[in-house]
Amino acid sequence: MQEVLDVLYLWLKTGHIVFVVFWMAGLFMLPRQMIYMHPAAPGSDEEALWAKRSRLLGKIILGPSLIVVWVLGIALAFSLNAWGDGWLHAKLLLVVALSGFHGFLAANAKKMARGERPLSEKQLRMWGEVPGILLVLIVALVVVKPF
């Protein structure tokens, strides 16, 4: 199995990076869509349109990208035999946090689609910065491998 992973390493890495980009794009877009939905009257056509867009973003981009990122990331860790490396442990912790953030956003988008407004526009703007901060930390860990 290790030989197969070694041969496929560059393809695994390519796929992982591409799907991280898709996932991050979705994580940047969802809070913005929620901000646009926020002032729409509950039950209005405008709210329904933003709710549909958010649902499609989750179904077509966010969900599948999350799964592919995890699968390819785990395959890369096996290929590199990096399970004992501290940088990978830290990266995994941050990716778990990012995955939890994804779930948090998805749950709040569903609430908003039902007419609730669990977060203010200001809170949504602040939460919208989280993926960028985590991305910087994750990329630094992968490139620099500080421990």
DSSP states of 1-23: -HHHHHHHHHHHHHHHHHHHHHH
- In 3D space, the residue among 11, 25, 20, 22 whose CA is nearest the CA of residue 138 turns out to be 20
Dihedral angle, C-alpha 10, 2, 83, 16, nearest 10 °: 30
Count the neighbouring beta carbons within 10 Å of the beta carbon of residue 130: 16
What is the predicted pLDDT for the residue at 22?
A: 98
Percent of the chain with pLDDT over 90: 94
- Size of the chain, expressed as the number of residues it contains: 147
List, as residue ranges, the binding site for heme. 16, 91
| Residues of the chain with confidence (pLDDT) below 50 | none
What is the predicted pLDDT for the residue at 3?
A: 80
CA angle 129, 33, 44 (to 5 degrees): 145
List, as residue ranges, the binding site. 16, 91
Please tell me the number of Cα atoms within 13 Å of 53 on its side-chain side: 16
Domain ranges of the chain: 2-144
Confidence (pTM): 0.93
119 membership: H or E segment, kind and range = none
Q: What SS3 state is found at 117?
A: coil
What is the predicted pLDDT for the residue at 90?
A: 98
What is the predicted pLDDT for the residue at 6?
A: 76
